[in-house]
Amino acid sequence: MIGFFRSLVLSALRETLHATVQIAGEERELKMNNKNRREFLVGAGVTIGSVALGQRVFAERRTTNPDWMAPENNSNPASSRANASPQGTDELAPRKSAMHGKMRGLMVDAGRVPESLEYYRGIVDFCAAWELNTLHFRLADDQGSALNFASVRDLVTHKNAFAPEQLRSLADYAQTRGIDLIPELESFGHTGYITRSAAYAHLLDRQAQGPSEFTGVIPVHPETLQLFNKLYREIATIFPSIYLHGGCDEVNWGGSALSRKALETKTRTQIWVEYLNSLDQIVAGLGRQLIVWGDVVIHKEPEILGKLNKTIIIMDWNYRETSSARIREAFLKVRANGSRGIGAPGLINYKWGLRAGTEQLRNIDAYADAYLEQADPNSLGVILTNWVPSRYVQNSIWDGFAYAAVAFNEGTAMAQSAAFSRFVKKHYGANWNDDWKEAFQIIYDAAPSVPEHPTASSTNLPLKVPWSTDEQLAAASRIQSPGQNPFTRLQNVLVQLKPHVLKNLADFQSLVLCVEALQRVYWREEIVIEQAAKEPQERKTSDTMLQNIAEGDQALAQALSKDWDKGRFPDSVAKSELLMDLAPKDQLLFEWMQAAMDSVSLASHPERFHLILETAKAV
């Protein structure tokens, strides 16, 4: 029977994998014609599957508006989009002057999981509609390259990698919408797309004492710069942007024979500087300006910064930081060096799963204030990063992008008071009301996260994956009591809101699907905890319960697969396999497919379920 039910669910899921699903019915305002960036400075070790679900307490929101998110209205000057002063001048004029010509944009992580060109054009359209001017496009990572390079054929490329002419067309399209498409090619760390190839395995570098999940290319190997010379040249023929991002963060190097030999006569700082300056010379020769990530050169090994070519642009990311003063302090180090900087707050990052929480909005605020409030020529602007598409439901996070757009363009006070109400009106065609306010408050305040420094006032739930192994099921059964599940309430609120959605209904349905996945992962755990507490076990009731879990899991996995196919590739490896260097929490669809197979197996052999629970009690 196990084999029958396993084949049944696999057959159903495979049909979904290859189905061509069109977004039905609703006219979209966006014409869709159409670790991941893990923290490198401080490691955060956690076993996601065994974290207990804590009690959720809504803390009072600390924003400029005590009502958290009030609708815009003409009677409240603080929340009006552009209110005239008594002198008849625009109150936003000083800010508009400060940010004139500065980057304000989003980032897409094609290097981890390529998505459809139609979706990327939709991102471009969104940027244009929300007055953003930059789209940062990550081309490659350890998992592979999203570009099939014509100049270097033997790299590790994604199954659905793009041809050069496809990305050239995307860059041209972006230009027509006033959006600068900036390419990023990882050039030191995150270079598995190079070193995992047999042709370039000899360029792999790592240090045994360094972070095990990170590697690098050998910076002193003569072939390394020769290779990037070819790759950069081809990128320059595809993307017209004057900028070329070279990555260079989260790198672990120094253990190769060549690197050890070089370190006998030079310091690590000297080798870092010579390597980055050499990359800069290649980029400058192409008429471009090099951008590098700032985690190493500002924070971890700041002595590097003072020796870099002043033409190198430093892009600073720090997703924990919510103080604009501290972010500004890091930028001032860049400016004092005579260099230019870009701020890089985060939305979905190593800490989050399907949704980012309230503290990420404060991270966006802090970077917007630090980099855009003053007319500083050394500040080039701010780009919102967003990592690992397989973590989230594709069209469920537009509201986060909209919040960043308002913060970048009009300031954080405006974003905190009006960004979500404006998003609801502009994107969903609905009027803001208390239900919308409650929906956004719950989804941001309760967004599950990897617990790093939990406090009594924390409102976020611990990030979990749905149990899909005997060990995870046993761990869930040993939890003493389930925590609250705020997503059940959120589901009910969204049901009330759906009739008011007049535009982009498919995007709203993606949000509903996201909330269903959030609600179900905690509901499944709660059911197991309740079942384990019963003495004696009610076999007939529990067998029915297992069947219900299996049916619901299959339905959710199929719905997630259909949603994936709308804007991602139906045959993507990320749907059915755990990708290199990613955890189960980083692949939402894959983890629910595993959970569905496990619950179907348990439903066909309920005695296994009871044995697991009984054994867990005895431990």
User: What average pLDDT does the chain have?
Assistant: 87
DSSP SS3 for 115? strand
**91: confidence class by pLDDT, cuts 50, 70, 90:** low
Q: How far is residue 415 from each of residues 409, 424, 580, measured CA to CA in Å?
A: 9, 13, 37
DSSP 209-241: TS-TT--EE-TT-HHHHHHHHHHHHHHHHH---
**540: confidence class by pLDDT, cuts 50, 70, 90:** confident
- Give the model's pLDDT for residue 482: 85
Q: Is the pLDDT of residue 88 over 50?
A: no
In this predicted model, what pLDDT tens digit does every residue of 258-314 receive, in sequence order? 999 999 999 999 999 999 999 999 999 999 999 999 999 999 999 999 999 999 999
In this predicted model, what pLDDT tens digit does every residue of 350-395 receive, in sequence order? 999 999 999 999 999 999 999 998 889 999 999 999 999 999 999 9
User: Per the structure block, which two tokens stand in for 49?
Assistant: 């599957």
- The larger pLDDT score, comparing residue 156 to residue 459, is at 156
Q: Is the pLDDT of residue 117 over 60?
A: yes
Decide: 525 and 53 in contact? Cβ < 8 Å: yes
Decide: 103 and 178 in contact? Cβ < 8 Å: no
In this predicted model, what pLDDT tens digit does every residue of 165-211 receive, in sequence order? 999 999 999 999 999 999 999 999 999 999 999 999 999 999 877 77
Give the start-to-end residue ranges of the domains of the chain: 2-60+446-618, 77-420
pTM of the model: 0.86
Using only the alpha carbons of the chain, give its radius of gyration: 25
Q: Is the pLDDT of residue 220 over 80?
A: yes
Domain 77-420: give its CATH superfamily.
Answer: Glycosidases (3.20.20.80)
- The larger pLDDT score, comparing residue 216 to residue 452, is at 216
- Give the model's pLDDT for residue 95: 65
In angstroms, rounded to a whole number, what is the distance separating the alpha carbons of residues 240 and 180? Answer: 8
